[in-house]
Structure 1
Amino acid sequence: MELDFSKIKVIGFDADDTLWVNETYFRETEEEFAKLLDHYETPNKIDQELFRMEMRNLDIYGYGIKGFVLSMIESALELSNQKVSQATIAKILDLGKKMISHPVELIDGVPEVLEQLKDNYRLIVLTKGDLLDQERKLERSGLSAYFHHVEVLSDKKEVNYQHLLEHLEIPIEEFLMIGNSLKSDVLPILNLGGMAVHVPFHTTWAHEEVPVEEQTNDHLTLSRITDIVKYLN
């Protein structure tokens, strides 16, 4: 669709699965978790119970790897009727540490896009998750120098965006959000009267999926993040 980006002065980038790969490692860890508990339940049942536990704990632990690990441990206890071994718990903790220490894998074209946009726009990172983990990933990514501001939010709902934009004194009509999640990166900004670009990642966490009836065409959807340059420069 045709959108006018001429008023845009500030561009917000989501981090996980927009700047670098993230969800892929969660899926791989879920598969390893299911193998650890395969003598208690089927892989499908284990996956369902883990997701249910994550949703139950979301308001307590928030987003990120640490909360995910705690939910895995709690799921293991429930699925095993409290009989899971200490050795298995130790292996679950190791899975979490492996995720945290995993090298940062940038999405194709991200450095080139930031390099082309940095002189004409104020670039910021707006992400959610564990503060320490996200700070660590940004440092390892080598992208820090491109951004004027980095914000790790507890959630990415309309109120979170509104408070942050007001704090940073960014008028909504001058702001563009780019991200892989319709639920977290696109719809809240559109509801505030702003503009957003959706760059889907090949894997989407079930919690971030949006029912078809709630989707909209009032935004730009791109297959690759590199395509944004022709609309902005």
Structure 2
Amino acid sequence: MRLLVVEDNISLLESIVQLLSDEFEVDQATNGEDALFLGLQNIHDAIVLDVMIPEIDGFEVLKTLRKEGSKTPVLFLTARDSLEDRVKGLDSGGDDYLVKPFQAAELKARIRALLRRSGSLTTNQTIQYRGIEMLGKEREINVDGEHVKMTSKQYELLEYMIQNKGAILTKEQIYDRVWGFDSDTTIAIVEVFMHHLRKKLEPFGYQTDIKTIRGVGYMLNDE
């Protein structure tokens, strides 16, 4: 699970990232332009967004994301606590609104609630695609009733493909989602891992469900 945290107070940002990193992969931004760029990659399961950030404020960032078709759940985390601000945040496309100062346990609980509502929280859930069953809690995979051993990255790659079945995912999206912006590997790793994933699924005939979109990326057939 990958989150984007947008906060211009560096010490607070570091605290939030440290708090969430035991449960999620966390990307970060300190201004509206970077937040918008990262948000438009559509690789995050949720966004924690401050309102008062430089260059473009949080409300405008979210309005643009929604205008561009992003459905990523957004939790506003801000010191602006007036009713007017809360209403504006929700009307601009926000899914939740938490006022600073906040309790760490509440922030994590609200994020988990957002992920459950969006269907993205698979950490302790089972997700299925045809005869493929991914057991989130155990991080195990059964294919047509047979246990298939996969590496952590293979698991995350297949999970991401299933969560976005029927959608074309660019190599850049896959790379950023599974390996992260700060990875020391290159984007060529995506092709390597896709080849290995297909090999793991080949004995069951599911390798052909992963389509290569020439010059773009990959797509998992919608059931």
TM-score w.r.t. length of structure 2: 0.34
Higher RCO structure (Cα 8 Å, ≥6 apart): 1
Structure (1/2) with the larger helix percentage: 1
Structure (1/2) with the larger strand percentage: 2
